[in-house]
Amino acid sequence: MQTKRLSPTIFTIFLFFTPLFVFSQNSKDGWELKREKGGIKVYLREVADSDIKELKFETELEASLTSIAAILTDVAGFDEWVYASVTSRTIRKVSETEMIYYTEMDFPWPLSNRDLVLRSRFWQDPHTLAFHSETHSVHDEMPEKDGIVRMTKADIRWVFTPIGNGKLKLNYFLSSDPGGSIPAWMINLAADQGPLMTMVKFKEAIEKEKYKNAKLAFVQEYE
């Protein structure tokens, strides 16, 4: 499938409208602090088999583990808080804690929209009660669509760890490739913009009554 190549104008837009950052020194595990905004820390690190860097977000929030599980399993609601999501729907519910779903992402002209077919599973640490979500691409589960670029690499992890006083520590990890003809350096420059907006919207979404009042048998709440 052919995709439109990025024009010089788009290159200029990225250079002049992507914020400038001051990077911190590398940590022992390779994570480099890119910036901090609204209580959310954004990190990058090199990936051995790719020129596109992996992302990590750290923040704290006040929420129940049940509300977290409710929002992450509500595929139809993703469009309300996942940045650039056009449509999301469940393809198959494997179990209460595992599902396969489809999502299409809006990309700015002249780029084609992207879509993903993903498999998510959820579990809880029996000792710390930390709630985990792990998602990987299963792009062969559904035929590709004309005019849309299928993203075949997407690895996402959410970890919500209780830290006391009704608070959770959130660690979010993302390693993906949008495909097409976008240069890796440009992806790395602006890679955190969408996920950062997603994180802000996620914090807002968990305050909705349908998630705050959710009941899920597979989630054990922390004290």
Q: Are strands 153-164 and 167-177 parallel, antiparallel or unpaired?
A: antiparallel
Following DSSP, what letter does each residue of 208-219 receive, concatenated? Answer: SHHHHT---TT-
Torsion of CA 57, 58, 59, 61, to 10 degrees: 90
The answer to whether 83 and 65 are in contact (CB under 8 A) is: no
pLDDT in tens, the chain (223 residues): 444 444 433 333 333 333 334 444 455 688 999 889 889 999 999 988 888 899 999 999 999 999 999 999 999 999 999 999 999 999 999 999 999 999 999 988 888 999 999 999 999 999 999 999 999 999 999 999 999 999 999 999 999 999 999 999 999 999 998 887 777 877 777 667 888 899 999 999 999 999 999 999 999 999 7
Q: Which residues pair with 43 in a beta bridge?
A: 33, 56
Q: What are phi and psi of 9, to 5 degrees?
A: -60, -40
pLDDT of residue 7: 41
pLDDT of residue 108: 85
